[in-house]
Amino acid sequence: MKKVTIAILIIFCFTTAIFICGCSEQNNNTGKTVTMTAKEHLDDIETIYATDEIIKNFNSLDEGDTLIIQDTILNINYDDATDRTIIVFVSTEGDLSDSMKFEFEGKLTDSFYNDEQVRITVKIKHVEFSYQNISYDMELYEEQWVNEEYFNSYRYKPLPQSCITKI
């Protein structure tokens, strides 16, 4: 009887250990992957400006999620002075208020063109900090975040070229 009790106890401990490891692995999940157009992503952004705080959140995205933006380039330009490529997407023709702009490191105008379909892949990051008596609570692209000091001086760094591909 003693051997049976010990065997049951060992099986119980082993099963519990497997269950706990499985649960902790689920908690380390890197998030979901969401695909949107630039317009859908623009509509998903909620920004609140108050006198002492700025809150920027994505309604359908959370920290750790992967966002894939698939859309057609409206305009692509290279800025030689800053060594950045600016790509603009617009959903409503002629309505630039409906546009979304992305900046990339380096020159992309030899590889990407107006009216070309592309995919931009980024990871969502959540940051909270204070600067000049303003509290920031923001979701942003992990690839654009350096640290608070960089943000306070330059805002976001350009996306790496590895984030964009042709469809």
pLDDT tens, residue by residue, 39-64: 999 999 999 999 999 999 999 999 99
Considering the four listed CATH numbers 1.10.10, 2.40.50, 2.60.40, 2.40.160, the one that applies to the domain covering 31-166 is 2.40.50
Residue 97 pLDDT greater than 80, yes or no = no
Q: What does the block give as tokens for 48?
A: 């609140």
**pTM for this entry:** 0.78
- 125 and 138 Cβ atoms separated by less than 8 Å: no
> Residue 18 in 3-state DSSP?
helix
pLDDT at 1: 56
Domain range list for the chain: 1-30, 31-166
